[in-house]
């Protein structure tokens, strides 16, 4: 049994803990050339064309958490509905991954759910009339990674209240410069720094992952897209009504068990925070993962997209709700992406949430998050089913290294742990070791000790990457421990807890398993069920 309820009506200040909001996301793919032929009359089409329309609609539903209506390749006018913006507004241009032995490269798409109240329909669905026309927030962010060989897919969700450094972003249309955030800010605010291209820049700055495309969808798009598939089964372990005494909540009302949700009720499910588990964005991300996995299975098992008239109307609404980068600005290009995604079976799809820890009422990435990012950068399947980890091939840096004696290196003691005090004198010992090896510009930082699990070499800009790699190579530090970071002003060696003594660095054994803290959910898991907070049952 399902029951529709009123959509969310409140909006919390700066999107911290508060009312549920933010729709599900979408994504994009490789450019695909010219559009298909223009639409003709509304008469019957050949069976093959009907099957093509059904399949393309189904795959777009996976891309956009239900965007099945955008699959009408033969309706040229839909292209005019799709809005486009620049892919990356930042200065940090992460290099594309190196092709594998077969010449294939991974594909990374950032899915953004905007809370924009920029139309009457979006305002009605999102509630909060006083926020009509205000700066939208990227309240849902998911990175979809499609492996180079197209055998597996990994998804990483980032909670909207994650504290990150938003880089300087420049609007290419009017030249407006949005300064970098002063300190850390909530990641959902990145959308207000020039648009989705700044959200892309923020992700690249944090993760070091090259992002190929983005797709952003709003409230109205989620509702229209969810209608297209005729309902997606979701499960709760008790009766739930997401509404408290102060009016907080999405309004979702369901009885215990598994029920198909669509339309506004699907939007409520995707936005629900109050009532799921601990009431956090982390619980909401798990509910979104469950929905996406269920939709994939539903689309593979059922042919629900067979009414051309209904699909035509849904296609109009869906494409009007999309904003994409120029590489995805036609339905033909979206269809090309669908051909790539359809190669992945549900059992090879892994949904995760970025590992994090609380900082007051917000969260920040942990060391496990960096490990998860590394696995994606190196195209290692998060389900652990790769036959063997692909051998990483490092691209040469943009600028070669300077002579050893001309490289300035600051050495920092990062050996403190939760259980151990910092190892005394490590910065001085290692800087002395570097001097012996010819790096006469090495100096020891005598400030307070840091807490770093693994030794790393960091550099602030592309022109110093060669120098950083040279320092790492001289000490036997693996290339994947050389990182670009805005937290340093020059080449900086952080001596971690894995090198508390001695003058020879021994790299720890590689661990390529997905961290437990990522809360991985397999795409074929049809037994998942959201736990309901007893305070929100009925």
Q: What is the CATH number of domain 2-86+105-383+522-536?
A: 3.40.630.190
What is the secondary structure of 13-68 as a DSSP string?
A: GGG-SSS--------------S--PPP--SS---HHHHHHHHHHHHHHHHHTTS-G
Among 195-209, 258-272, 418-432, 510-524, which stretch is predicted with the lowest mean pLDDT?
Answer: 258-272
Looking up tokens 């009007």, which residue turns up? Answer: 320
- Residue 392 CA to residue 298 CA, distance in Å, equals 36
Task: Calculate mean pLDDT across residues 310-318.
Answer: 67
pLDDT at 281: 85
pLDDT at 307: 60
- Tokens representing residue 478 in the block: 């693996």
pLDDT at 299: 66
The answer to whether the beta carbons of residues 404 and 474 sit under 8 Å apart is: yes
pLDDT at 327: 96
CA distances from 502 to 418, 427, 508, 530 (A): 21, 12, 15, 50
The answer to whether the beta carbons of residues 187 and 158 sit under 8 Å apart is: yes
Angle (CA) 237-292-330 rounded to 5° is 160
Residue 302: pLDDT above 70?
no
Give exposure, 389-403, as e/b (b: 16+ Cβ within 10 Å).
ebeeeeeebeeebee
What is the secondary structure of 98-118 as a DSSP string?
A: PP-TTS---EEEEEEEE----
- pLDDT tens per residue, range 3-20: 433 333 333 333 343 334
pLDDT at 134: 60
pLDDT band at 386 (very low <50, low <70, confident <90, very high): confident
- pLDDT tens per residue, range 70-115: 344 445 778 888 999 999 999 877 888 888 888 999 999 999 987 6
pLDDT at 247: 86
What's the 3-state SS for 402-450?
Answer: CCHHHCCEEEEECECCCCCCCCCCHHHHHHHHHHHCCCCCEEECCCCCC
Residue 350: pLDDT above 70?
yes
- Residue 242 CA to residue 248 CA, distance in Å, equals 8
Query: Which of 313, 326, 362, 351 is CA-nearest to residue 162?
Result: 362
Burial class (CB in 10 A: 0-12, 13-18, 19+), 431: buried
Looking up tokens 């979809």, which residue turns up? Answer: 144
Query: Which of 83, 195, 192 is CA-nearest to residue 131?
Result: 192
Cα end-to-end distance, the chain, whole Å: 14
Was domain 404-495 assigned CATH 3.40.50.720? Answer: no
Region of 482 (left: φ > 0; alpha: ψ -120 to 50; beta: rest) is beta
- pLDDT tens per residue, range 13-65: 333 433 344 333 333 333 333 333 333 444 444 444 444 444 444 444 444 43
Q: Where are the domains of the chain?
A: 2-86+105-383+522-536, 404-495
pLDDT at 402: 94
Looking up tokens 């499960």, which residue turns up? Answer: 235
- pLDDT tens per residue, range 182-211: 999 999 999 999 999 999 999 999 999 999
Task: Calculate mean pLDDT across residues 471-476.
Answer: 96
Task: Calculate mean pLDDT across residues 153-159.
Answer: 94
Mean per-residue pLDDT of the chain: 80
- Residue 181 CA to residue 193 CA, distance in Å, equals 10
- Residue 76 CA to residue 234 CA, distance in Å, equals 35
Task: Calculate mean pLDDT across residues 340-363.
Answer: 92
């Amino acid at each position: 049994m399902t029951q529709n309820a009123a959509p969310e009506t409140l909006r919390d200040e700066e999107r911290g803990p508060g009312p549920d909001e933010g729709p599900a996301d979408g994504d994009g793919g490789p450019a695909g050339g010219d559009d298909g032929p223009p639409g003709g009359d509304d008469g019957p089409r050949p069976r093959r064309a009907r099957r093509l329309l059904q399949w393309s609609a189904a795959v777009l539903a996976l891309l956009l958490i239900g965007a099945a209506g955008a699959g009408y390749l033969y309706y040229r006018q839909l292209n005019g509905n799709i809005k486009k913006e620049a892919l990356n507004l930042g200065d940090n241009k992460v290099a594309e991954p190196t092709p594998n032995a077969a010449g294939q490269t991974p594909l990374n798409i950032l899915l953004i759910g905007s809370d924009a109240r920029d139309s009457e329909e979006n305002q009605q669905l999102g509630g909060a009339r006083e926020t009509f026309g205000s700066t939208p927030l990227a309240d849902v962010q998911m990175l979809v990674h499609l492996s180079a060989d197209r055998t597996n897919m990994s998804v990483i969700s980032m909670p909207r209240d994650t504290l990150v450094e938003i880089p300087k972003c420049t609007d290419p249309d009017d030249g407006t410069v949005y300064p970098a955030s002063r300190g850390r800010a909530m990641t959902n605010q990145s959308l207000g720094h020039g648009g989705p291209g700044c959200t892309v820049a923020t992700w690249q700055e944090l993760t070091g992952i090259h992002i190929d495309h983005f797709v952003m969808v709003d409230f109205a798009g989620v509702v229209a897209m969810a209608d297209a598939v005729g309902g997606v089964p979701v499960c709760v372990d008790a009766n739930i009504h997401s509404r408290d005494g102060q009016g907080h909540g999405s309004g979702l009302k369901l009885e215990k068990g598994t029920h198909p949700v669509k339309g506004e009720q699907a939007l409520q499910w995707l936005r629900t925070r109050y009532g799921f588990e601990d009431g956090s964005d982390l619980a909401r991300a798990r509910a979104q993962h469950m929905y996406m996995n269920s939709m994939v299975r539903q689309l593979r098992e059922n042919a629900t997209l067979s009414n051309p008239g209904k699909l035509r109307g849904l296609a109009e609404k869906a494409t009007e709700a999309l904003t994409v980068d120029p590489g995805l600005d036609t339905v033909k290009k979206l269809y090309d992406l669908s051909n790539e995604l359809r190669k992945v079976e549900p059992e090879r799809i892994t949904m995760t949430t970025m590992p994090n820890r609380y900082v007051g009422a917000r969260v920040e990435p942990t060391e496990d998050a960096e490990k998860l990012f590394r696995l994606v950068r190196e195209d290692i399947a998060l389900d652990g089913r790769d036959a063997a980890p692909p051998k990483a091939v490092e691209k040469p840096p943009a600028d070669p290294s300077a002579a050893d004696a001309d490289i300035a290196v600051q050495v920092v003691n990062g050996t403190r742990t939760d259980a151990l005090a910092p190892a005394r004198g490590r910065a001085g010992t290692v800087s002395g070791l570097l001097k012996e090896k010819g790096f006469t510009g090495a100096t020891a930082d005598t400030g307070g000790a840091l807490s770093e699990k693994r030794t790393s070499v960091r550099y602030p800009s592309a022109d110093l990457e060669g120098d950083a790699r040279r320092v790492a190579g001289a000490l036997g530090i693996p290339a994947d421990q050389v990182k670009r970071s805005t937290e340093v002003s020059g080449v900086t060696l952080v001596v971690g807890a894995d090198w508390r003594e001695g003058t020879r660095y021994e790299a720890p054994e590689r661990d390529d398993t997905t961290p437990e803290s990522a809360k991985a959910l397999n795409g074929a898991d049809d037994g998942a069920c959201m736990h309901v907070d007893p305070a929100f049952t009925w």
